[in-house]
Chains A and B, each alone.
Chain A
């Protein structure tokens, strides 16, 4: 079964750090770019970050640049998002999403999504 499973979300205080993980199965993980997309409560979808299949190229939304780092371990079929200096506005459900291709420098859509992991930033 083709599946993405996120974990690592929790309640954290403002200024805190968190590492999200996404475990992939059912497809050749190393062939595809991967992404993080978030959804604040009752709001729409916001792209957060992307990483190419070979992990050489990354990109970030302006809202998180400098505070998050995306990485992947193709040998473990896993995607990660290291988040620091968290703010209340980072509160959201964070989805891991698979690109249809391997290159993040070309536009792409997301053909597989995980169920999300909840990050809540509050004191």
Chain B
């Protein structure tokens, strides 16, 4: 199985800040990486796929980068609606799909 590790587990920030969340794969997954946002009591929402392709309707302050084993999710000019938990997911190999453990972005 490909193991996904996110850092940090918790991130404290303020409105207007720029933050970066890291996701590392235990072996190369090319660019087969998705990012999801989950708010308390809600289902996860797809933010981007293929490491950097923003899903329709997702604000442009969200961006993704990376390939191989190292990936980042960057959120510029944090808005109140952005405080949530973020997960990465690899889909390079189907057996099995694996997620990072999540990064909780909280208001400082």
Contacts and interface: CB of A to CB of B under 8 A. Distances in A.
Contact of B34 (A104, A110, A112): A110
Interface class of chain B by DSSP: loop
A46 B45 contact: no
B100 A107 contact: no
A103 B76 CA distance: 35
A11 interface: no
Interface stretch (B13-21, B60-68, B88-96): B88-96
B107 to A, nearest CB: 19
B98 to A, nearest CB: 7
B44 A59 contact: no
B11 to A, nearest CB: 16
Contact of B93 (A35, A61, A107, A111): A107
B4 to A, nearest CB: 10
Interface residues of B, number: 25
Given A109-B46, A114-B43, A59 B95 contact: yes
Contact of B102 (A44, A61, A105): A44
Interface of A: 35, 44-47, 50, 59, 61-62, 95, 100, 104-116
Interface of B: 32, 34, 36, 42-46, 49, 55, 87, 89-102
23 contacts: A35-B97, A44-B100, A45-B44, A45-B89, A47-B97, A47-B98, A50-B94, A59-B95, A104-B94, A105-B94, A107-B90, A107-B93, A107-B97, A108-B94, A108-B97, A109-B46, A110-B34, A110-B46, A111-B49, A112-B46, A113-B44, A115-B43, A116-B43
